[in-house]
Amino acid sequence: MSPEGKRALIAVGRRVAFAGLILLGAWLVLAVSRAAIPGSVIDLLVAKLMNAGKWPVDLTNWSNSWWAGQPVGELIGEPLGHTAQLVVLGGLLGLAIAAVLLFLGVLISRVTDRPTWLARVRGVLRLVLVSSGVTTSIFWGATLFIVYRAIGAPTPSGWEVYYVSLLPAWLLVQAGHGELGKLSGSYGLLARHLAVRLVTRLLKLVGAIIAISVLVEVIFNSQGLGRLLLNAVNQGDFPVAFGIAWVFVLIVVLVKLVADLIEIAYSHFSSQSESTEDTEEKVAPRLRIPMGWLVFSLALVLVSIVVAVVGPAFAPYGMNEISLADRLAPPSAEHVLGTDNLGRDIFSRLLYGIRIDILVGFMSAGILVVIATCWATLAAYLRKANNWLGDTLEDVVMLPRDVVCAFPWLVLLMLLMSIVGPGLLQVALVGGLVVLLPRAVGMMREAYSSPPQGRGWLYSVLWSIPVMFILAVAGSILYTSSLSYLGFGIPPPTPELGGMLSGTGRQYMLMAPWMVLWPGLVLALLSFVWVMAGDALLERLGFRTKAVWAKAVE
């Protein structure tokens, strides 16, 4: 057997072994979390059970639901089918959308490759399209759905599947563009390579797809594991919540293992095939993002920071200043964006909300930047040996990261926040250390795995830091708004953008649509600005991969 064949065989055995270690590590995480439930939370649970007439309950029995009294497996069984169907169909639809967009992109690129200014315009438009697609707020879909249902219109079939497909579709477009840039040659070779890479990338995104599916099920009140998880966390039914988390871990680990095995086999056999064929040389793509657009994107980021810092000083009203005489007032000269159900000025609350979301983003990203850099540098240094031993040592260093990423991010956040309680500091610490840190390391790993042409691993690690920081802030905005929307993040009356879309925002949106219109628009624009700046910097630095952002929501 050739050295390459031995290395591929060792890689297969290593991935199988590490999948078992990841499952063991995830089980230990759940065991530690279970033991860490504070007594105050248990006391509150006992009070709820007594008020509901369900006491006494054996709190040492984790095989049965504490509220329903049924085995956890029976409660999870039927909703699991609905969620699995949603995840599969949403992923496949996302793959189909991405394939169509990439095909159209290839055709357009062939036509508009000359003159240079037209190619640059095309690159900027693609960047804007992908960035806006990644940051398309699911809350906008929820808002439209509520209006649609309120006017008595029938619910269209496939609504949930469509919204689940949006995030994987745009992430696959981004990753696919990076793969197209790596390879030059015949259309057949290009299509084969892209198909395999997109399928494996889709499988690796299973955790992100599950997280979005949970959010969609909660928003649309579907009878899947998402709704069951939310009810279990709200009630303190920890056996059910932990059981759902474990089911998701099993799915994520096994699906990612399949993706890794496909990737190893394809890389091995395709390299053998290409060594005996006449193929064109792989070259790095010419940069399409002009420096002016990068400066413009970073300027928008700076503007958002300035608004967060000084904006509240120019707010015409306090963030919680109540005026019952002006409740639900439409936009006017006195209240430019209207007021909410308590007469609080929407414009003033938005200025404070921007500050809070960016503040949490900076706190979370600041916590992880040093740790993530050291972590990724060690892994990259070990990997530079470029043999099976270096691959194995890198996987050992990355094992804690893989264990945490085995949990879909929203599931892990809901579980942990139900234990530590809501609050700004809690969201920043949990989001930074437990959720963003391992994913930031994944972003940096993706960067040094596909370094710019002629650059080494150290260059990739160091120059991926600003990209990681910007995208980590964008990811933090997504995490914080999602948690607050579900009631586990920053509690009211603090004006967080996701929280403003939930609760009373949904309750009064038909009477006062400005209560959800402006927070949703600001949240979408804020996320878009940070993601676009990160993407533009990533491309301008010359990284051959465009899958870095996917690691932030993996």
Enumerate the domain spans of the chain.
3-36+71-320+332-552
**In this predicted structure, what is the pLDDT of residue 113?**
60
Which residue intervals of 220-290 are DSSP H helices?
A: 225-235, 238-275
Give the residue among 436, 510, 498, 441 at the shortest CA–CA distance from 473.
Answer: 436
Q: Which residues contact 195 (CB under 8 A, 6 or more apart)?
A: none
Question: Which tokens in the block code for residue 443?
Answer: 């972003």
C-beta atoms surrounding 367 within 10 Å: 19
Query: How confident is residue 110, by pLDDT bands cut at 50, 70 and 90?
Result: low
269: pLDDT strictly greater than 80: no
What would the mean pLDDT of 288-315 be, rounded to a whole number? 90
Length of the chain in terms of residues written: 554
- What DSSP state is assigned to residue 339? B
Question: Which tokens in the block code for residue 495?
Answer: 């004006």
Q: Which residues contact 303 (CB under 8 A, 6 or more apart)?
A: none
Q: Which of the two residues, 106 and 218, has the higher pLDDT score?
A: 218
Taking only the tens place, the pLDDT of each residue in 350-406 is: 999 999 999 998 988 888 888 888 888 888 888 877 777 877 888 899 999 999 999
275: pLDDT strictly greater than 60: no
137: pLDDT strictly greater than 60: no
**In this predicted structure, what is the pLDDT of residue 91?**
93
